[in-house]
Amino acid sequence: MKKLFLIGKSLKHSISPFIHNKILSELGIDAVYSNFELSDFVKLKEFVEMVRKDKDVVGFNITIPYKEDILEFCDEVSEDVRIIEAANTVKKENGKLLAYNTDWIGFKKSLEDIGVDVKDKKILVLGSGGAAKACIYGLYRMGAKEIFVTNRTYEKAESIKDLFEDILKIIPVEWLKKYDFKYDIIINTTSVGMFPNIENSPFDIENYGASIPVFVYDIIYNPLKTTFLKEAEIKGIKTGNGLKMLVYQAVEAEKIWFGGIDITSNLIAEILNECERKVAKVE
Ligand code: ATR
C-alpha cells in the first residue's frame, strides 16, 4: 500500500486525513494518508530521510510551521513555490523530492466557487505569513488591481513587498483605525479569531466607515463563521470561509501525486458537506 503524510505540529484536530482518505477510497487508489507530527525527537531532516528510503511513500503535505523550512530538503521547486517561498505539497519522483504549492490554487478555486471576481479590485489582505503569500499570489494571478497588506509586525509585511512590487502596498496596522480607505474585498489570513479564541476579530468591520466592501473572506474554517465574518454578514456583506480552500488544495495535491485522476464536483461537494459537519461538531 502506498503512503502519504501530513507533516506539521499540533495535527490532532486536522481534517486533512479525512479529506484525502475519502478521495483515495472513492477513486480506488491503494494508498493511505496519515498525520505525521514532527517534534524535537523526530525532526524535518529525519522525516525526509525516511521518505527518501521508503519506496511506498508517494509524497506528503506540509503545514505550519514547516512550509518554508521544507524547501532546503527538496531537489526541485515549482515556479509558484519559487515566488511564494513556501510549499504545502511534495511529490517523490524518480528518487527526487519535488515541491509544489497548491494553497494558492485552493484559494483561487474557492473564490471561483463562491462567485467572486477579483479582477481590477482593490483588496486588503490582513497578515503577511505563508498563507498570506499564497493568497496574494492567487490574487495577483487572477488580476487584482491593487493589494494592500497590513500586519501586526510591519517589517514582516515589508519583507514580502518585493515579491509582487507593482501591485502591493504595505500599510501600518494603526492606519486601519485612523483612515477609512475603501476596499472592495478584505481577506483575513491571520489566525485571529480561530478556535479557541473565537471572540477575537482581526478587523473592526462593525465600525468601518468607508463604503462597505462587496466581499470578505476568512481563511479560518474553525469556526466556520468567525466573529469577523459574522459582523460582516450583519452589515449585509457576502462572506466566505477557508473550508473550500482547504478542500481544493487537497484535491490539487492528489492530482499532483496521482496524475490523470478525475475528482468530480459531486465528490468535492460531498467532502465539503462532511467537513462542515465535522468542524461544526468540534466548534
Ligand atoms: P501562516 O503560514 O498560516 O500564514 P504564519 O506564517 O505564522 O502562519 O503567519 C501568521 C500571521 O498571523 C502573521 O501575519 C501574524 O502576524 P505577525 O507577523 O505579527 O506574527 C498574524 N497573527 C498571528 N497572531 C496574531 C495576533 N494575535 N494579532 C495579529 N496578527 C496575528
pLDDT above 80 (res 21): yes
Q: Is the pLDDT of residue 211 over 90?
A: no
Mean pLDDT of 170-185: 88
Q: What is the pLDDT of residue 247?
A: 98
Q: Would the CB of 151 count as within 6 Å of ligand 1?
A: yes
Strand partners, 5: 34, 60
Chain-wide mean pLDDT for the chain?
Answer: 95
Atom of ligand 1 nearest to the CA of 64: 2
Mean predicted confidence (pLDDT) in 259-271 = 97
Dist CA 203 CA 225 (whole Å): 14
157-172 pLDDT per residue, tens? 999 988 877 789 999 9
Residue percentage of the chain with pLDDT more than 70: 99
Q: Which of 9, 88, 190 should be mutated for ligand 1, with most atoms under 8 A from CB?
A: 190
Q: Write the DSSP string, the chain.
A: -EEEEEEESS-TT--HHHHHHHHHHHTT--EEEEEEE--SSS-HHHHHHHHHH-TTEEEEEE-TT-TTGGGGG-SEE-HHHHHH---SEEEEETTEEEEE--HHHHHHHHHHHHT---TT-EEEEE--SHHHHHHHHHHHHTT-SEEEEE-SSHHHHHTTGGGGTTTEEE--TTHHHH-----SEEEE-SSTT-TT-TT--SS--TT--SSPPSEEEES--SSSS-HHHHHHHHTT-EEE-THHHHHHHHHHHHHHHTTT----HHHHHHHHHHHHHHHHHH-
For residue 283, the model assigns a pLDDT of 66
Separation of CA 130 and ligand 1 centre (Å): 9
Question: Is the predicted pLDDT of residue 115 greater than 80, yes or no?
Answer: yes
Q: Which of 67, 91, 109, 121 is catalytic?
A: 67
Only one residue has cell 473565537, namely 198
**Residue 181 pLDDT greater than 90, yes or no:** no
The predicted structure's pLDDT at residue 87: 97
In the reported structure, the alpha carbon of residue 226 is separated from the centroid of ligand 1 by a whole-number distance in angstroms of 16
Tens digit of pLDDT for each residue in 31-69? 999 999 998 878 999 999 999 999 999 999 999 999 999
**pLDDT (average), residues 204-228:** 91
- According to DSSP, the β-strands at 185-188 and 215-218 are parallel
**Residue 128 CB less than 6 A away from ligand 1:** yes
Q: Is 96 in the pocket of ligand 1 (CB under 6 A)?
A: no
Q: What pLDDT shows up at residue 176? A: 84
Map grid coordinates 514547516 to a residue.
66
178 pLDDT more than 90: no
Which residue among 136, 152, 161, 227 is best mutated to probe the pocket of ligand 1, counting the most ligand atoms within 8 A of its Cβ? 152
Q: For residue 172, say if its preceding peptide bond is cis, omega within 30 degrees of 0.
A: no
Strands in 89-93's sheet, in edge-to-edge order, are 31-37, 2-8, 57-62, 89-93, 96-100, 76-77
Among 266, 178, 250, 280, smallest CA distance to 24 is for 250
